[in-house]
Amino acid sequence: MFTEQRTCAAIHDLSGAGKCSLTVALPVLSVCGVETSVLPTAVLSTHTGGFTGFTYRDLTEDLLPMARHWKEAGFHFQALYSGFLGSEAQIDLVTEIFQMFREPGTFVVVDPVMGDNGKLYQTYTEEMAQSMVRLCRRADLVVPNLTEACRLLEIPYQEGPYTESFIGEVLAGLCGLGPGKAVLTGVYLEEDRLGAACLDSKTGRPEFFLRDRLEGLYHGTGDLFASTLLGGLFNGMSLSEACDVAVEFTHKTIASTKEKSKDFRFGPKFEEHLPWLGRKMEEYRKNLAKSANLRYNI
């Protein structure tokens, strides 16, 4: 039984097929015991990564009316979580919605989905990147990959292997934008070990969480990772504990996808690992419930 309410508002697109953004965030946060309300920024038939001919219904005009309705109806959220956003206007609206729902102690997570492998997504403009920097300044935690982090910090993208000191500087730069916590994905210090690194500016030192690299481009794994990380924080994990669990869950999922999927565009095969994730979360939740000082990391 939960000892305290856990509520989150997730603002991402809804790609009907191909498993990313909301179709990943919702099941992951639910198995982590987080009640999640969703604000879909657009409805697509599939994600845009590798499919052609997809439909795209923009919902920019609905965002503020939906948020205002939630406000009037008395919804409160302990965390606000944004991901892929389709236009500069949407990014600015999300900034406004964050302001609308921010209360003392609200935890704001921004996954600044902008690109991968050194390239911004085709839909991304210079203006959108600028707006994304402004949105990140309002966050408590940002979860970019290296492509996105370099763009946010306006430094040239470089291929790995990276040095610990370079990753440390990038993480410190991200925290320097405003968030107290930053997690970087796509980190590797040697070719065959890949994962994430995190920095909590309160505790200081960057930490690394790496697993054996599984070759291939796996869509939706960034969303899976960020959602798991947030789920962990909701259940009392420290940033590094949540990062470790998120890397492990993502790695398990990629292994299943590599083994069982004929076409990686169809998304990560995470479902079979949800019970594992649920058990991990429960372990931490039980410890939290037992401890005299209930301590949530949100």
Cα–Cα distance, 192 to 210 (Å, whole number): 9
What is the DSSP pairing of strand 193-200 with strand 79-82? unpaired
- Kindly report the number of other CB atoms within 10 A of residue 84's CB atom: 25
- Kindly report the number of other CB atoms within 10 A of residue 39's CB atom: 21
Least spacing, CB of residue 75 vs ligand PXL, in Å: 24
Between 25 and 175, whose beta carbon lies closer to ligand PXL?
25
Cα–Cα distance, 25 to 240 (Å, whole number): 20
Q: Of the candidates 31, 28, 20, 3, which has an alpha carbon nearest to the alpha carbon of residue 293?
A: 3
Between 206 and 220, whose beta carbon lies closer to ligand PXL?
220
Least spacing, CB of residue 192 vs ligand PXL, in Å: 25
Burial of 41 (0-12, 13-18, 19+ CB in 10 A): buried
Tell me which residue has tokens 């939706």: 220
Helix (H, G, I), strand (E, B) or coil at 120: strand
Query: What is the 3-state composition of the chain as percent helix, strand, coil, each rounded to the nearest 5?
Result: 45, 20, 35
Between 44 and 245, whose beta carbon lies closer to ligand PXL?
44
Q: What kind and span of H or E run contains 141?
A: strand 141-142
Least spacing, CB of residue 19 vs ligand PXL, in Å: 9
Least spacing, CB of residue 76 vs ligand PXL, in Å: 27
Between 222 and 236, whose beta carbon lies closer to ligand PXL?
222
Between 11 and 237, whose beta carbon lies closer to ligand PXL?
11
Least spacing, CB of residue 55 vs ligand PXL, in Å: 11
Least spacing, CB of residue 194 vs ligand PXL, in Å: 17
Between 16 and 168, whose beta carbon lies closer to ligand PXL?
16
Cα–Cα distance, 8 to 96 (Å, whole number): 17
Between 48 and 253, whose beta carbon lies closer to ligand PXL?
48
Least spacing, CB of residue 38 vs ligand PXL, in Å: 13
First to last CA, the chain: 18
Helix 126-137 vs helix 88-101: crossing angle, to nearest 10: 10
Between 84 and 188, whose beta carbon lies closer to ligand PXL?
84
Cα–Cα distance, 170 to 149 (Å, whole number): 7
Least spacing, CB of residue 42 vs ligand PXL, in Å: 7
Residues that bind ligand PXL (CB under 6 A): 13, 15, 20-21, 44, 47-49, 84, 113, 220, 222-223
Helix (H, G, I), strand (E, B) or coil at 35: strand
